Amino acid sequence: MGHAMSSLRRYQIKWGTLRSQDGRRMRRCNVRAAYTLADDSTTTQKEQPLGYRIVDFDDWPEGDNYELEIDGQKVAQKKEGRHYRAA
């Protein structure tokens, strides 16, 4: 009988680009990327991000839709208060 494989979570701060939906605003931003790593040294699968969180603040309008570009991916974002979340 095999053993259950556990997983670990790893976080990394990266640079991303945040854009408004209308294209009028654009800025670089600090992003926390979360990854799950298999706790098995024989695993060779590529790490896939669980999600991204913008960790700096701005004065852009709340409630608007934005797009985060990071690691060649585009992720829809919505601003609520001072924080962004995946839309």
Would 49 be classed as within a structural domain?
A: yes
Would 39 be classed as within a structural domain?
A: yes
Would 1 be classed as within a structural domain?
A: no
Would 36 be classed as within a structural domain?
A: yes
Give the total number of structural domains in the chain.
1
Would 50 be classed as within a structural domain?
A: yes
26-78 confidence digits (pLDDT tens): 999 999 999 887 665 555 456 678 899 999 999 999 999 999 999 899 999 99
How many angstroms separate the CA atoms of 52 and 35, rounded? 9
Phi/psi at 30 (5° precision): -85, 130
Give me the domain span that covers residue 48. 7-86
11-23 confidence digits (pLDDT tens): 999 999 999 999 9
pLDDT of residue 9: 84
Would 2 be classed as within a structural domain?
A: no
**Max CA pair span of the chain:** 58
Dihedral angle, C-alpha 32, 86, 70, 27, nearest 10 ° = -90
How many angstroms separate the CA atoms of 57 and 2, rounded? 47
Would 79 be classed as within a structural domain?
A: yes
